[in-house]
C-alpha cells in the first residue's frame, strides 16, 4: 500500500538544540483469516498527520528503515511479527536492505518499478539472502512478468483497483503458483468475508485499522560527518581513524549503539567501548549503515548544541581521569563511553533507564550511569559536582579515587583545549 498524499513528505522535522528531533513512522496491521495480526506494513511519515507525499522512494524507504532499526526500534514496531517495507530498484541496488533482518522482513516491490534484467538480478540476490518479496497493487497476471511471479512469495491485490467479477479467476491463477494472497484496501466486513471465501490468506485495510503513527525522539549526526565517515570507510582507513571520528561525535556514537543492539543486529556481547561496537559491525555493515543515514536525510546540525559539547568533554575528562587512576586502556575506553552517555537522558528527554534498554552496555557502565556504582560511578559524580560548582562534594568524590582538584582542573583544561581544536574553534 502506498503512502496516502496529504502533505509535503520531504519536510525536515524540527530539531531543538541539544534535544534531538521527533521522528515518526506509520504502521498498519495485516491480519490472517481469523483476524489475528500476522504482520505490519511500515509506512513513511514526516509528521503526526496520517499520510505523506512521497517524492523520493529511496528517501522514504531509508527513513522507514532508519526509524525501524535505530530511532524507534524494530521490537517496538513489529515485535515477533512480519514487517512489510516498500522498496524500488534503487533501494535494492543500494544494498541498504541487507541491514534488515531477513527472517522478519518482506520487501514490498512497488508497482512503479520497471522490471528488467537488472531488477530481476537484484531480486534474485535478495532472495538468496533470505528475503521474501510481495508484489504491490497487483491487478492482473497478464500485466506482470512471469519472472516476478516466480520471485514473489506474496501478492497484494488492490480491491479498489480490481474488477470484483475478475477476482475468482485471479485468485485461482495465483493459488496455482502457491502464492500467498493479501487483500488490501479492505473497507467492510463484506469485503473481508468475500475475500476470505475466495481464498485470500491475509487482509489489510481501514475495516480493521487505519495506519497508526508511532513517534520517538532522535538525534542526528551532521551531513559533513556522515560524508567524511563514508569516505574513510570507502578508503578502508585504519581502525583508529574510524574510531576517532565516532569519539568526536557523540550523536553518531549513540546511534551506533542503538543499531548494534537492535533486533536486526543483536549481539550477546556486552559493549564496553565504541571500538568494540565498530569491530562487531565490521567495515561492510558499517558502510551500509552510513549509507542508510545519508539516504534518510540525516544531517541536522547538532554541533552547536551545548549538550553535545558537554557530552564530548565529559567523555574525555572521564577517560583522562580513568587513565590516571587505573593505567588501563580498557578502563579508559569504558570511562569515555560512560561520560558521553551520562547526558543521554537530557538529549532524548526520557528516563535514563528506558534509554539504556536500547543499548547493550556492560554491567559496569550501566551501574555507573543508573546508580553511580564503582569507580566509573565515582567519576560521573566528580564531573557532575564540577559542573554544578559543588566543590565540597567534588573534593569528597576526588578523595575516593585518590585524585586532587588540581589534577582535575588540569585534565578539564586539556579536554576543553582538545575539543576546541578538533571542532575548529
Residue 281's pLDDT band, with cuts at 50, 70 and 90, is confident
Mean pLDDT of 321-350: 87
pLDDT of residue 253: 83
What nine digits make up the cell of 111? 508497482
State the span(s) of the chain assigned CATH 1.10.3210.10.
220-422
Residue 294 has pLDDT above 80, yes or no: no
pLDDT of residue 156: 95
CATH homologous superfamily for the domain 15-216: EAL domain (3.20.20.450)
Residue 377 has pLDDT above 50, yes or no: yes
**Cα–Cα distance, 160 to 162 (Å, whole number):** 6
**Cα–Cα distance, 320 to 414 (Å, whole number):** 9
Residue 405 has pLDDT above 90, yes or no: yes
Indicate the SS3 state at residue 108: strand
Mean pLDDT of 317-343: 91
pLDDT of residue 5: 37
Residue 102 has pLDDT above 80, yes or no: yes
- Convert the pLDDT of each residue in 21-41 to its tens digit: 788 899 999 999 999 999 999
Mean pLDDT of 141-163: 88
Residue 424 has pLDDT above 60, yes or no: no
Residue 16 has pLDDT above 70, yes or no: no
Mean pLDDT of 358-382: 92
Question: Which 8-state DSSP code applies to residue 31?
Answer: E
CATH number of 220-422: 1.10.3210.10
Max CA distance (Å), the chain: 85
Residues sharing a CB contact under 8 Å with residue 398, sequence separation 6 or more, in sequence order: 382, 404, 405, 407, 408
State the span(s) of the chain assigned CATH 3.20.20.450.
15-216
Question: Which residue would you say has higher pLDDT here, 153 or 351?
Answer: 153
Amino acid at each position: 500500500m502506498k503512502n496516502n498524499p496529504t502533505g509535503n513528505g520531504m519536510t525536515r522535522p524540527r530539531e531543538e538544540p541539544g534535544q534531538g528531533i521527533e521522528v515518526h513512522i506509520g504502521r498498519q496491521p495485516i491480519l490472517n483469516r481469523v483476524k489475528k495480526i500476522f504482520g505490519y506494513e511500515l509506512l513513511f511519515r514526516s509528521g503526526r498527520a496520517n499520510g505523506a507525499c512521497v517524492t523520493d522512494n529511496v528517501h522514504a524507504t531509508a527513513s522507514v528503515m532508519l526509524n525501524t532499526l535505530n530511532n524507534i526500534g524494530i521490537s517496538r514496531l513489529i515485535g515477533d511479527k512480519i514487517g512489510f517495507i516498500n522498496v524500488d530498484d534503487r533501494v535494492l541496488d543500494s544494498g541498504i536492505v541487507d541491514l534488515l533482518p531477513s527472517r522478519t522482513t518482506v520487501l514490498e516491490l512497488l508497482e512503479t518499478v520497471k522490471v528488467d534484467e537488472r531488477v530481476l538480478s537484484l531480486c534474485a540476490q535478495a532472495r538468496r539472502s533470505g528475503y521474501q518479496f510481495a508484489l504491490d497493487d497487483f491487478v492482473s497476471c497478464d500485466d506482470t512478468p512471469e519472472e516476478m511471479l516466480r520471485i514473489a512469495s506474496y501478492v497484494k491485490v488492490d480491491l479498489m483497483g480490481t474488477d470484483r467479477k475478475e477476482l475468482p479467476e485471479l485468485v485461482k491463477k495465483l493459488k496455482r503458483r502457491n502464492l500467498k494472497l493479501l487483500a488490501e484496501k479492505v473497507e467492510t466486513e463484506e469485503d473481508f468475508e468475500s475475500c476470505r471465501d475466495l481464498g485470500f490468506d491475509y487482509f489489510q485495510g481501514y475495516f480493521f485499522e487505519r495506519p497508526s503513527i508511532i513517534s520517538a525522539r532522535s538525534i542526528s549526526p551532521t551531513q559533513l560527518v556522515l560524508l567524511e565517515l563514508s569516505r574513510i570507510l570507502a578508503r578502508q582507513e585504519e581502525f583508529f581513524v574510524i574510531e576517532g571520528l565516532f569519539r568526536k561525535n557523540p550523536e553518531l556514537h549513540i546511534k551506533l549503539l542503538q543499531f548494534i543492539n537492535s533486533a536486526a543486529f543483536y549481539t550477546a556481547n556486552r559493549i564496553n567501548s565504541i571500538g568494540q561496537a565498530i569491530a562487531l559491525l565490521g567495515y561492510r555493515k558499517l558502510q551500509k549503515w552510513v549509507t542508510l543515514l545519508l539516504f534518510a536525510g540525516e544531517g541536522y546540525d547538532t554541533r552547536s548544541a551545548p549538550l553535545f559539547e558537554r557530552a564530548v568533554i565529559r567523555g574525555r575528562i572521564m577517560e583522562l581521569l580513568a587513565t590516571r587512576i587505573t593505567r588501563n586502556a580498557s578502563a579508559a575506553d569504558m570511562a569515555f563511553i560512560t561520560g558521553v552517555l551520562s547526558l543521554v537522558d537530557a538529549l532524548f528527554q526520557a528516563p535514563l533507564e528506558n534509554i539504556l534498554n536500547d543499548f547493550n552496555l556492560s554491567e559496569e557502565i550501566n551501574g555507573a550511569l543508573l546508580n553511580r556504582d564503582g569507580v566509573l560511578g565515582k567519576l560521573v559524580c566528580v564531573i557532575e559536582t564540577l559542573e554544578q560548582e559543588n566543590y565540597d562534594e567534588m573534593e569528597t568524590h576526588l578523595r575516593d579515587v585518590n585524585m586532587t582538584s588540581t589534577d582535575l582542573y588540569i585534565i578539564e583544561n586539556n579536554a576543553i583545549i582538545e575539543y576546541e581544536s578538533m571542532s575548529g574553534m
